Amino acid sequence: MTEPETYRNPDLEVVAGNKSVWTHADNRRRGWHGLHRIARYTLGLRAARVVRLEKRMELRLAELDAVRHFTSLPWFSAMVVVQEGRVLYERYAPDFGPDRPHSIQSISKTTLHFIIGQLVDAGVLSLSQRVGHYLPEVGTGYRDATLQQVLNMDVVNEYTEDFTDPSATYYQHEEAMGWRLPRDPAHEQTQRAFVARIRSDDIENRTGLVQYKDANTDVLGWIAERASGRPLRAFLADLVDAAGLEGAFHVTTDRDGVPALDGGVCLTARDLARYMMLFVRRGRGISGERVAGPDFMARTLAAGVPMSVPFDWIRYSNHTMVAGPYIGHGGWGGQYAIANLDTGRVAVFFSVIENEHATNRDYLGPVVKMLEAVTAS
């Protein structure tokens, strides 16, 4: 029998700058709006009960100069502000909408704040214990780092995440996440095999600033599974039910089915707001169940490692970004989600930066300041 004619998946091919086609500037907006369909492997979860959201729009939010500015730019996708079941502000770009999932990129990392926090408060994990205690097979890049150092992005190793550098380790990691075609189809990388090979001559961070690495999140997820005996999928199902999401919680996985919690989650703007309300409720779900460590969360707000420009007033703490009563996280390419624990308001902002590398030092910092302002009262 003649073999069928085939061609390589065009979305996942690698092009100039060592970028996969879907992350290239010409395709990035379609990519960020459709990662849940583009990635090679995905997992979808639905909640049993949904948090009702009703519109109670506050026009003063729409009249703020910063809100008008950022929601009028061509990069804009969506913005939602929510408080106690009320939608106070909501706007979408013409090519997007309330029922459309969007890649939230590194906002995905906050899932590990909840998962690790539960296990720390339960005494299953110790923040002072070294990674090698839980994962003896891991390499020198993480073996001697403490759990706290990994949570706070406070580890130095050979992994690099400079999106402007085509040789950055991140792009090898992207293959292990199923976000691009493997260089050797017969030996496709997986996330845990990849992070286990990371090396370091000296893990100590002497800069005093965050050393941001997606690989840290994968190490934490591996530790959570190993120490608890539960798959990450089970923890995620708990979070989805606790948040009362309406649509699917999409998360990309590697070929082994390990969720890419460093950046693989895709949600609607309203569902990300529902998820962020878990912070406002201090980790309690919609039925009173606890999916976070309350002591761990309280310590998170008072600790952390300083971040660099454009987030130089923010600290990275236990896989969240904190400043005063604000806790949240940003994502590569123009996303940010924030919860104000004093007012109980959350705000979500989706956009897709369509320059060469999906980064802009002058853009996302002011977006965060805007989100702080709209959740302040």
Domain boundaries in the chain?
10-374
> Domain 10-374, what fold?
Beta-lactamase (3.40.710)
* pLDDT interval class at 278 (50, 70, 90): very high
Model pLDDT, residue 377: 82
Model pLDDT, residue 277: 98
Model pLDDT, residue 115: 98
Model pLDDT, residue 20: 96
Q: Please give the average per-residue pLDDT across 27-39, as a whole number.
A: 98
Closest-CA residue to 190 (of 177, 174, 171): 177
Residue 74 has pLDDT above 90, yes or no: yes
Q: What tens digit of pLDDT does each residue of 299-358 get? A: 999 999 999 999 999 999 999 999 999 999 999 999 999 999 999 999 999 999 999 999
Residues of the chain with pLDDT > 70, as a percent, come to 100
Q: What tens digit of pLDDT does each residue of 76-135 get? A: 999 999 999 999 999 999 999 999 999 999 999 999 999 999 999 999 999 999 999 999
